[in-house]
Structure 1
Amino acid sequence: MLTKARYSVKDMLQWTRWELIGFIIFSSIITVLHQLFDFTFFKIPWTPVAVVGTAVAFIIGFQNNAAYGRIWEARKIWGGIVNTSRSWGMKTKDMITNEYTEEKVPEERLIQERKTMVYRHIAWLTALRHAMRSPKKWEVFEYHRTNREWSKMMHIPERDISLEEAISPYLSKEEQAYILQKNNKAAAILYLQSGHLRQLKEQKLLWEFSFLDLENVLQELFTLQGKSERIKNFPYPRQYATLSHYFVLIFVILLPFAIIPEFSGIGDKIATKYPIIGFNFVWLAVPFYTIVSWIFHTMQRIGTVGENPFEGSANDVPISTISRGIEIDLRQLLDEEVDQIPKQFKEQFDVQM
């Protein structure tokens, strides 16, 4: 996601500049036809247009609330992944011991077992974030020209590095081969974790109650993964998103045919005392129409880009940053050297990845 700390008016105008230019041109053409060519039959009563605008405002509000709810739920899910991951690191470090073994194993092996469990968990995080970034047919972020410009400027890790390359430092070649042939690679990694826990229990490197505790952690990870997949794989209902788009379009097309005659009528009244001002007063309809249409259109676009919180927009949940933060915490827990631990992904244009 990219999560931007704040937006300026300049950012918003840059993001919607093409629509803004279109509103200015469209309203200027209608004004010219009305004022200079006397096309006064281009007139719609203000009341029905206001009713349409009210209905559109409700629809946009519903869409934005639903989109924000999806983003907030996704953020809570990945917050749960952070907490559960830390628990996993803590428990594997303290529960894999020689306490119940009949023959003590070297400490180096215990360290390696813990490292294997932690590294495999990092591989799970990597596989999950790659799955969340994979494109879906209903994701419409890059349909807009300015969104495509944004995507070209940004370097989302999951698009720059393949999953095979990303998980290779954390899994053995055999495990990589096993994982890459599965459809749900993140789930397959959790299956490996469970099998490894069973082996440790059988070797008495893991107490039975510790085994059950760690299995419960895996169960929680499965639950969090399923919740994240639910948001990714179930889109915001397209009937609402599509209708919202078309209703805004209808509203901004009808609006100048109500606004321009209103401003023209006001100008006629002013012209009795101030002819020049009265004759040109109608041109104020252009900026007024542009502002109203821009607000409605921008709110609708904000709701659209918030529908899919893993798509790669500036409003997404920063799953790459979250995953790398977990990796740094876990590898520090293993007391690895600082130069061996990867750095956090850099922000781009004040946006977290």
Structure 2
Amino acid sequence: MHLGKSYKFSEFLFWTRRQIYGLLICGSVPVFLYKTLGLTWLSVPLTVVVLLGTATSFIVGFKNAQTYNRAMEAQHIWTSILSASRLWGIVARDFPVDLQVSKELVHRHLAWLTTLRYELREPRIWESTDKPFNAEYQRFYSIPEREIELQDLLPLYLPSTEATQVLSSLSKPTQVLSLQGAAISRLLASGKINGSFYMELERTLRELIDLQGSAERLKNFPYPRQYATINMLFVRFFCLLFPFGLLQEFNKLNDSVTGLMHGNMVWLVVPFSVMVSWMYTSLEQVGESTENPFEGGANDVPISMLCRTIERELRDMLGDAEMPPMPDQAAIVVL
């Protein structure tokens, strides 16, 4: 998540510079063929380009609206996880008589948060984190899940036998919740907790399972590929045809100018076509970098920071002196 007031215009230009290079070529080639080689038949009626641009605007806007909704849903899911975690911490602290039992319940919950964020950071083939325009921006931030291995963290929260069991399971977060459910059942059977406490924990476990499933749905089911493909094709076709639609229009301006630009007005097609086309390609690139809110990009939901916040709050409830450090307050991007 970007913590600044906004991205700088220079940052945005640098981030999209590869698109700009391509647009410069797309704008220069038609003008060169039209002006230098005299291939005036290459001009495309502007009406055709306008119709294509209108259709492209609709589909690009639709994609960005949907990717924004995915990002907002991801924020809602993790806000709910934050609230449910606080409830779990309060109940786990207040109901059991034995403080050690409270710590075990809280630490196992922290293990669930850890395995969940590691699962959500696993790469998918449709994600864009490793694309050049996103990969180079990672010099401004780090992805915690790629710096420390999960097997090095789990022993901080779980006994060695449980940690081994979790690491060898197919779904690590689900396995942790399964262990949590078995643990509270044993506590009920041994009389260390009463029935009302058991039911409250079971209700919270069910909520956590639902939230995990919602997060996994966003992770494992991308923005529909057919819409993503047609969006890309429309933008590409528009950027290719747009300069051809401007050739005659700018050539007509030669009748109203004198001096150096007389006879050369058609060359203005290059900067103007680049500016307009850049808006479309930038919208497409923004949508692509937003549609997967857990991939580890600069615009992701900061699940690592939220997990660290939850851990600090729950440890504080239990009176633990050791607190994980919060991220650098001066950081531009936190995850």
The RMSD of aligned alpha carbons is 1.6
Which residue pairs with 2:37 in the alignment?
A: 37
Residue 194 of structure 1 deviates from its aligned partner by 1.2
More divergent stretch after superposition (120-129 vs 35-44):
35-44
**Native 8 Å contact 1:3 1:318 kept in 2:** no
In the alignment, residue 298 of structure 1 is paired with which amino acid?
A: S
Residues of 2 paired with 1:153 and 1:68: CA distance? Answer: 23
Residue 347 of structure 1 deviates from its aligned partner by 6.1
Which residue pairs with 2:241 in the alignment?
A: 254
Query: Please, which of 275, 284, 297 is the counterpart of residue 291 of structure 1?
Result: 275
Query: Please, which of 94, 105, 114 is the counterpart of residue 126 of structure 1?
Result: 114
Q: What secondary structure, in the 3-state scheme, does the structure 2 residue paired with 1:235 have?
A: coil
**Native 8 Å contact 1:89 1:333 kept in 2:** yes
Which residue pairs with 1:61 in the alignment?
A: 61
Any runs of at least 4 consecutive aligned residues in structure 1 with deviations exceeding 4 A, and if so which? Answer: 1-5
- Report the TM-score when normalising by structure 1: 0.91
Residues of 2 paired with 1:195 and 1:315: CA distance? Answer: 37
Matched, 1:179 2:166: yes
Which residue pairs with 2:303 in the alignment?
A: 319
Which residue pairs with 2:334 in the alignment?
A: 352
Query: For each residue in 1:266-325, what CA deviation from the matched residue of structure 2 results, as whole angstroms up to 9, or x when unmatched?
Result: 22x214xx2433323222221111110100000011111111110111111111111111
In the alignment, residue 264 of structure 2 is paired with which amino acid?
A: N
Residues of 2 paired with 1:199 and 1:4: CA distance? Answer: 48
Q: Which structure 1 residue ranges, 5 or more long, are not aligned?
A: 98-109
**Native 8 Å contact 2:3 2:331 kept in 1:** no
Which residue pairs with 1:270 in the alignment?
A: 256
Structure exhibiting the larger radius of gyration computed from Cα positions: 1
Aligned residues between the structures: 335
Q: Which structure 2 residue ranges, 5 or more long, are not aligned?
A: none
More divergent stretch after superposition (280-289 vs 297-306):
280-289
Q: Structure 1's 303 and 348: CA in aligned 2 closer, same or farther, altered over 3 A?
A: farther
Residues of 2 paired with 1:111 and 1:349: CA distance? Answer: 37
Identity %: 38
Residues of 2 paired with 1:89 and 1:189: CA distance? Answer: 16
Residues of 1 paired with 2:329 and 2:124: CA distance? Answer: 25
In the alignment, residue 69 of structure 2 is paired with which amino acid?
A: G
Q: What secondary structure, in the 3-state scheme, does the structure 2 residue paired with 1:332 have?
A: helix
Residues of 1 paired with 2:312 and 2:264: CA distance? Answer: 64
Residues of 2 paired with 1:11 and 1:63: CA distance? Answer: 23
Q: What secondary structure, in the 3-state scheme, does the structure 2 residue paired with 1:279 have?
A: coil
Matched, 1:342 2:330: no
Q: What secondary structure, in the 3-state scheme, does the structure 1 residue paired with 2:264 have?
A: helix
**Native 8 Å contact 1:309 1:316 kept in 2:** yes
**Native 8 Å contact 1:236 1:307 kept in 2:** yes
Matched, 1:80 2:80: yes
Residues of 2 paired with 1:173 and 1:347: CA distance? Answer: 34
Query: Please, which of 166, 176, 200 is the counterpart of residue 189 of structure 1?
Result: 176
Matched, 1:149 2:131: no
- Report the TM-score when normalising by structure 2: 0.96
